[in-house]
Amino acid sequence: MSEPIPFNRPCLVGNELEYMAEAVASGHSASGGPFTRRAADILRHVHDADDVLLTTSCTDALEMTAMLIGIRPGDVVVVPSFTFTSTALAFAREGARLRFCDIEPGTLGLDPDHLETLLDDRVRAVVVVHYAGVPCDVDRIAPLCDARGIALIEDNAHGLFATHRGQPLGTFGRMSTLSFHETKNFICGEGGALVLNTPDDVEAAHVLLDKGTDRKAFFDGAVDKYTWQGLGSSFGLSDILAAFLTAQLEEADVIRARRRELHTQYRSRLTPMADRLGLQLPYEPATATPADHMFYVLLASAAARSEVIESMRRDGVNPTFHYVPLHSSPAGVRFSDGASECPVTDDISARLLRLPFYNDMTGADVERVVSSLAAAIAS
């Protein structure tokens, strides 16, 4: 019997193990070490950002955005219903009430028409997600926020190196966040980053990162000792994990090219049979250079998905579903500013199936996944 094909598998692509050993040998394994600076420099260059701070997770980076924009109890934040819990809970933890916005059926990003109906004087921030590394409609969303003085935050967990009209995702809002969780394109097990696009946020962000102290100012020689300045936490990424991440980022061209090949192979094999199988394939706007974070299909009906998953798993192939709508979840109802109707989210969430996708997946693996999917639907 063939080896099982997992949904995801962390992969080594370069000097990950050597760099981790180097970090340990250096005597600096905590946050703020040489590899932290190297990885942050790469990301700063990619985004042309005012600063990039490596964090222990994308969740922590999102929590920092909520603190930096000064969310207080009673403020309202608009978030997608079709996203991971972190996008919403980061703001709920600061006391915000949440308004859940529906998604477009193409990009699966925030629907600008629905968003416009949710905006009023109580809204302090709008958080967008570039689902699967495909840009949401920032051309319409950003002006809606700018006209009302509302902070635009990009949860760019899926979209590192993707662009819209040549501009990197993560640079359209006041700040953005990245994820280096093991399921992402670039990984270090657990990790994230906060991308700062406004110089006024840099000093305050470092105080948050350094447990509420002006430690960075001390190391920069601006003060003779560092002291407690305000709120913060232990948000910084270990230099050992930053070493792993640095090695991955240095091989960005290799990783991106391989994921594009896999994405293209899936699309070319599934396109001829999509109508027959009742499948919708991922939408890619002409204005985008996508990140190729995943390959998903939309099944003809929600009723078939569980059976398709079980059939494929019997073949040793492991697809999976994705987000469960937040607006109707127990916590979503508890933290919401009012009942939300998100019919597109409900529909997409019930029909979406993510196919196995990882950096050292082979062409033969893709062929096997496609054959298993076709057989599962036909049965």
Q: What is the pLDDT of residues 147-188, one digit of tens each?
A: 999 999 999 999 999 999 999 999 999 999 999 999 999 999
Q: Terminus-to-terminus CA distance in the chain, angstroms? A: 21
Scan for tokens 């709120």, then name that residue: 231
For the chain, what percent of residues have pLDDT higher than 90?
A: 93
Residue that is last in its domain, among 215, 250, 285: 250
Residue 80 sits in the same domain as residue 41: yes
Question: Strand 97-101 vs strand 76-80: parallel, antiparallel, or unpaired?
Answer: parallel
With bands split at pLDDT 50, 70 and 90, how would you rate the model's confidence at 225?
Answer: confident
For the chain, what percent of residues have pLDDT higher than 70?
A: 100
CATH number, domain of 74, equals 3.40.640.10
Residue 30 sits in the same domain as residue 150: yes
CATH number, domain of 261, equals 3.90.1150.10
Residue 225 sits in the same domain as residue 349: no
Residue 157 sits in the same domain as residue 215: yes
Q: What is the pLDDT of residues 271-329, one digit of tens each?
A: 999 999 999 999 999 999 999 999 999 999 998 999 999 999 999 999 999 999 999 99
Cβ atoms of residues 338 and 99 within 8 Å: yes
Is 1 inside any structural domain?
no
pTM: 0.96
Mean pLDDT of 27-54: 96
Cβ atoms of residues 239 and 261 within 8 Å: no
Residue 298 sits in the same domain as residue 187: no
Is 3 inside any structural domain?
no
Residue that is last in its domain, among 223, 250, 277: 250
Residue that is last in its domain, among 234, 250, 266: 250
Is 2 inside any structural domain?
no
Residue 157 sits in the same domain as residue 292: no
Mean pLDDT of 73-86: 97
> What domain range includes position 279?
252-378
Is 320 inside any structural domain?
yes
Residue 204 sits in the same domain as residue 339: no
Does pLDDT of 31 surpass 80? Answer: yes
The strands making up 192-196's β-sheet, listed across from edge to edge, are: 51-55, 192-196, 175-179, 151-155, 123-129, 76-80, 97-101
Residue 74 sits in the same domain as residue 147: yes
Is 8 inside any structural domain?
no
Determine the Cα–Cα distance for residues 321 and 332; give it in Å rounded to an integer: 20
Scan for tokens 């693996």, then name that residue: 365
Q: Amino acid identity of 258?
A: R
pLDDT attached to residue 379? 85
Is 6 inside any structural domain?
no
Q: Which two tokens stand for residue 179?
A: 């994820």
Residue 257 sits in the same domain as residue 234: no
pLDDT attached to residue 191? 98
Residue 304 sits in the same domain as residue 228: no
Is 97 inside any structural domain?
yes
Residue 243 sits in the same domain as residue 258: no
Q: What is the pLDDT of residues 179-212, one digit of tens each?
A: 999 999 999 999 999 999 999 999 999 999 999 8
Distances in Å between the alpha carbon of 114 and those of 49, 85, 106, 135, 285?
30, 20, 15, 17, 20
Structural domain total, the chain: 2
250 three-class SS? helix
Does pLDDT of 220 surpass 80? Answer: no
Distances in Å between the alpha carbon of 355 and those of 6, 194, 209, 293, 296?
9, 29, 36, 11, 6
Residue 175 sits in the same domain as residue 295: no
Extract long-range pairs of 324-330: CB within 8 Å, 24+ residues apart. 324/349, 325/81, 325/82, 325/349, 326/79, 326/80, 326/81, 326/82, 326/83, 326/85, 326/88, 326/100, 327/81, 327/100, 328/81
Is 346 inside any structural domain?
yes
Determine the Cα–Cα distance for residues 359 and 370; give it in Å rounded to an integer: 17
Question: Strand 175-179 vs strand 192-196: parallel, antiparallel, or unpaired?
Answer: antiparallel
pLDDT attached to residue 1? 60
